[in-house]
Amino acid sequence: MKKKLFTMKVEPKILAKWHQFAKSKNRPLSDIIKLLMSGEELPATVMQKKEPKKTYSKVDPNLIRAINAIGNNLNQISRKVNEHQKFDVLIELKSIEQQMEQLLNASQISK
């Protein structure tokens, strides 16, 4: 069923109260109004606070690329080990350790 837009006039003070109530429940105002107007009994979950959405901080794209490169190195190591190819794992792991230390030092310097 296609949804239709519904508008109504309401005093600013009342609208502010409605928005405050919806915000206190971490729900959109439209959801609360739909439930109230449906004529059905309100679920207990409407009166409970909904968990807020997780927020993520922005990360330096260069850091993400560097971590991705390290992940690729680990994949290559595991692939070669699983294929039983001659491979000096310790040298590669040492290289990854050095890369991680460089990333750590770079992130501490930028703070």
Domain extent listing, the chain: 12-47, 61-109
Task: Check if the beta carbon of residue 63 is closer than 8 Å to that of residue 107.
Answer: yes
Provide the whole-model pTM. 0.38
pLDDT, tens only, 25-73: 788 888 888 888 887 776 666 666 666 677 877 888 888 888 888 888 8
pLDDT band at 21 (very low <50, low <70, confident <90, very high): confident
How many helices (DSSP H) and strands (DSSP E) are in the chain? 4, 0
